[in-house]
Structure 1
Amino acid sequence: MNHQSTSEQIFDWIVNAILAIICILVLYPLLFVLVASFSSPEAVMRGEVWLWPKNITWIGYLRIFQNSEMLTGYVNTIVYTVVGTAINLIMSVAAAYPLSRKDFYGRNVIAAMMVFTMFFSGGMVPTYLLVKNLGMLNSMWALLIPGAVSVYNILIMRTFFANGIPYEMQEAASIDGCSNMTTLMRIVLPLSMPIIAVMILFYSVGHWNAYFSALIYLTDRDKYPLQLFLREILIQGQMQEMLGIGDDTQSQIVLEGEAIKYAVVIVANLPVLLLYPFLQKYFTKGVMIGAVKG
């Protein structure tokens, strides 16, 4: 058995204590939002809610699901996330696989040109004009096409393809008569589930939380994602607090807005929290292989 010295034991205790403190600092805000979403808004505003709900109420969730715009935003966000993640994944694989092949001449030059775009871009105004000239304003594609690829994620995926999958397997497939597409579909992708899971998580979380592109490009409220409605709720709540509370009706509106604010945060983030456990077994392996090697 390995017996640790006193100094090593002290060091382990200090590290564990620091990690425990960090976990508490990270998890408590999440727990507070969850508890506050079920608690009486009056108790939350008076600072009486800490770890357990007080005067449990469902008013926030009832107002959310009674609001047709909120449900519309939820459906729109799901559509944008699913379609956008599919486009991102296809484009990333299509770019990363050729760049990982040793027999693809000019791959370093192309990779350098792609990296260049990470440091220099046209800016928001030229991008808006481009989207407008392409006729994508006020459409789903304005949110998905301009960000169809992420150079950073392409580089991670390329590194995985180059170092995580033996090149001899691809050569053997070529000798057996497989085309590049067949090699990609039948050999490379089935062995790349860790990095694919990581990309799905990265892209889907990005689409789910995105609101700025929708704020710029969308004008019809029936196309708004959930995050824009959440933003409106937060702004309205702040404005009402700044203007002050007048009669009982306005006071009730402010209290309901406070409950809705916490409930929307839970509803908006629940799908992401449910997605992660299914990808967890691939996540760590994919990140480590894509980041360490290369």
Structure 2
Amino acid sequence: MTSPNHPSIRTNRTGKLLDIVLILVVTIASLLCLAPMIHILALSLSGNSAIMSGKVTLIPIDMDWTAYKAVFGNDQMIRSLVFTIGMVSLFTMIAMTMTVMAAYPLTKKQLKGRDLFLFVIVVTMFFSGGMIPEYLLVKNLNLLDSIWSLILPGAINAFYLLIIKTFFSSIPLELEESARMDGASHFRILLGIILPLSLPVLATISLFYAVGRWNGFMDALLYITNSNLYPLQLRLYEMVMNSQVNSMLEGIGTAAPVPESLKAASIMFATLPILLVYPWLQRYFVSGMMIGAVKG
């Protein structure tokens, strides 16, 4: 019979204790990350008196949907939402196409000047022209007050490009050589072999591109003056920073929500759509980042 003090039993107990500690740490960290969003959600669903008295923490008090009625009833917010969804979708497709088309040739050792191209790409990760030169470039290209000013300047991210390039390099060369023996072109190899095997990293980088574009507002603040082209985050930024909530309160009546409740509801309105995309890509997320960053 094994003694309770046997080394293997002590090791199992230590392992279980460490598992419990790790679970507690991860749980606490997760709750801390979720706490701000839960607080915003509670504010958006709470009544005026509870918000004004500072009673709202993580649980709604005096449940009230008036703020959401004001947000969903505002034509400008809905217009910005529709515009942002279309703009993010177009941006992600263009960005992924350009990134893949740039990453694939860089995996070929026979490409002349490949090391120079990679060096230039890496340099752009650490140095940029700056805000003023970028604005002047967009202005000289006549892209101001255009959806293309929000798409073209950020269509390729150097870091994402290197991740996809590393992933492509990890695919066995025998597959490509076999296809070339059958007369397949580079374009056919890319579409028929490389891309189907790269779904994890493609889905992950697509999510990164989409989230980055969805949350961006600084470029829109610089390049866009036409209110019909305001993305959702810029609309939200103006509301939060300038307290421009009067137009949204029109027609609500005497029970209109206080600005804090309306701001919180607008934040949830702008955050939830992109969060709904994540579950569809979750299975690719970890594997895509790990393989693309480690192999090669």
Asked whether the two chains share a fold, i.e. TM above 0.5, the reply is yes
Does 2:129 match 1:127? no
Provide the residue aligned with 1:158 in structure 2: 165
Structure 1 equivalent of residue 283 of structure 2? 281
Q: Measure how far apart 1:134 and its partner are.
A: 0.7
8 Å contact kept, 2:66–2:256: no
Q: Which residue of 1 aligns with 2:186?
A: 180
- Where does the alignment leave 5 or more consecutive residues of structure 1 unmatched? 241-251
Q: What does the per-residue CA deviation read over 1:150-204, in whole Å, with 9 as the maximum and x for residues that have no partner?
A: 00000000001001x2111011111110000000011111111101100110000
* Structure 2 equivalent of residue 245 of structure 1: none
Question: In structure 1, which of residues 35, 38, 41 is the aligned counterpart of residue 42 of structure 2?
Answer: 35
Per-residue deviation, 1:235: 1.6
Distance 1:3 1:96 in 2: 51
SS state at 1:103 partner = coil
Partner Cα separation in structure 2 for residue 96 and residue 141 of structure 1: 23
Q: Say whether residues 1:17 and 2:4 are aligned partners.
A: no
* Separation in 2, partners of 1:253, 1:53: 17
Cα distance, 1:253–1:115 mapped onto 2, change above 3 Å = farther
Is the Cα–Cα contact under 8 Å of residues 43 and 260 in structure 2 kept in the other structure?
A: no
Does 2:88 correspond to 1:81? yes
Q: Does 1:233 align with 2:235?
A: no
Distance (Å, rounded) in 2 between the aligned partners of 1:2 and 1:111? 53
Q: Which SS does the other structure have where 1:56 is aligned?
A: coil
Structure 1 window deviating more from structure 2 (43-52 vs 70-79): it is 43-52
3-state SS in 1 of match to 2:154: coil
Separation of aligned partners in 2, 1:61 and 1:152: 38
TM-score between both structures, scaled by the size of structure 1 = 0.90
User: How many residue pairs end up in the alignment?
Assistant: 282
Structure 2 CA distance, aligned partners of 1:168 and 1:113? 30
Q: Which residue of 2 aligns with 1:257?
A: 259
> Counterpart of 1:208?
214
Structure 1 contact 39–56 (Cα < 8 Å) conserved: yes
Q: 1:214 to 1:53 in 2, by over 3 A?
A: same
- Note if contact 1:41-1:258 (Cα within 8 Å) is conserved in structure 2: no
Residue equivalent to 2:122? 115
Give, in angstroms, the shift of residue 43 of structure 1: 1.2
- Supply the distance in 2 between the matched residues of 1:105 and 1:167 (Cα, whole angstroms): 19
Give the one of 89, 94, 99 matched to 2:101: 94
Q: CA deviation at 1:238?
A: 9.6
The corresponding residue for 1:192 is 198
RMSD of aligned alpha carbons = 2.2
Does the Cα contact within 8 Å between 1:160 and 1:195 map onto a contact in 2? yes
Please, which of 215, 220, 224 is the counterpart of residue 218 of structure 1?
224
Change (3 A) 1:55 1:287: same
Q: In structure 1, what is the Cα distance between the partners aligned to 2:180 and 2:9? A: 50
- Cα distance, 1:105 vs structure 2: 3.3
- Residue 253 to residue 200, structure 1, CA distance change in 2 (3 Å): farther
Mean CA deviation greater in 12-21 or 212-221: 12-21
Would you say the 8 A contact 2:67–2:257 is kept in 1? Answer: no
CA separation of 1:152/1:113 partners in 2, compared to 1, >3 Å: closer, same or farther?
A: same
CA distance in 2, matches of 1:262, 1:151: 35
